[in-house]
Amino acid sequence: MTTVLRAHAEDQYAEELAILAEEDDRPRPAGWRLSPRAVTTYILGDGDRVTPKYIGPRRVVEVAVATLATDRALLLLGVPGTAKTWLSEHLAAAVSGDSTLLVQGTAGTVEEAVRYGWNYARLLAEGPSGRALTPSPVMRAMAEGRLARIEELTRMPSDVQDALITVLSEKTLPIPELNREVQALRGFNLIATANDRDRGVNELSSALRRRFNTVVLPLPATTEEEVDIVSRRVGQLGRSLELPAAATGPEEIRRVVTVFRELRAGVTEDGRTKVKSPSGPLSTAEAISVLTGGIALAAHFGDGVLRPRDVADGIVGAVVQDPVSDRVVWHEYLETVVRERRDWHDLYRACRDAG
């Protein structure tokens, strides 16, 4: 039996989606599997049978869901690690039952990725025909009345981005080679994500930006909120990766989160000491990665208890992206903040030994 490393959201949470669909008695937009209120419950959880997928302001999720019920596309904007991809996947799973209609934006993304391409063997043998056409995920979403997803929209070249304008304004994708077009069925819409740090890479044209409703995903507002997010995701990843059980005290998670938050903000939690920020984002995603790696170390090479030495290398690796400037920032923070904290001496020694 083959076990996938990470199931799609609609497969992993199929039971929750089925429960919500069965009990959902509110109006559903055409082509939607759930009503907007039920989609929001799926994303935020109900405190009982439905687990939260995104922890953050409820209004942010409500605006995102409401946008998808209109003719405006949705742009999720935020710094790295604010769960843009995670939220877009779960929105697509809840609305369409399919989160796989995905285009990954890069500097090398070509126009065919958002429009259509050709099977060149058939094209040479038969000429332009429907059988020779290779639909993009966006074209498939239009034809099936589903949500399409575009990751890192601002990393795509501007001319590729602008191929979306007709799709989003006219809800039509012309195929001049076949003298026909694909018209979007009701239920079609598009969710794009963009990294706030990529501003200036490939800015959206004003024409394209007008087709999107932009929702900014904030960083976790409090330490407690971020600790909760990290704890949940670390637990989910541990089960998914089948890592041997390791005792993970909340204090170790809190310390990693605190280090990242302080370096990110440029000031300690009590507001008394200003610190320099490194070049990396030090997002919630990095904290999750550091702790997941620490659990693997504790389980396979330690005594099964997550200790400072298990996370120290991960912290240093996440902070010191630039070996010159970031190392200075890190050592200054280590000596002026971590060293002076009561009950942090074990973390200080572990991080000092790790570099």
Local structure of residue 344 (DSSP, 8 states): -
Average of per-residue pLDDT across 54-68: 95
Split at pLDDT 50, 70, 90, the class of 299 is: confident
* Pairing of the two strands 172-175 and 212-216: unpaired
Q: Write down the domain spans for the chain.
A: 9-104+141-155+185-216, 223-354
pLDDT digits (tens, 9 = 90+) for 133-154: 999 999 999 999 999 999 999 9
State pTM to two decimals: 0.89
Kindly tell me the burial class for residue 264, based on how many C-beta atoms sit within 10 Å of its own C-beta (0-12, 13-18, 19 or more). Answer: buried
Q: Residue 317 — very low, low, confident or very high, per pLDDT cuts 50/70/90? A: very high
Q: With contact defined as beta carbons under 8 Å apart, do 228 and 283 qualify?
A: no
Q: By 3-state DSSP, what share of the chain in percent is helix, strand and coil, each rounded to 5?
A: 50, 10, 40
Count of all residues that appear for the chain in the document: 355
Q: Which helix (H) or strand (E) holds 10?
A: helix 9-12
pLDDT digits (tens, 9 = 90+) for 267-276: 999 899 999 9
| Residue 169 to residue 235: CA distance in whole angstroms | 42
Amino acid letter, residue 240: S
Asked if residue 213 has pLDDT above 90, the reply is yes
CATH 3.40.50 given to domain 9-104+141-155+185-216: yes
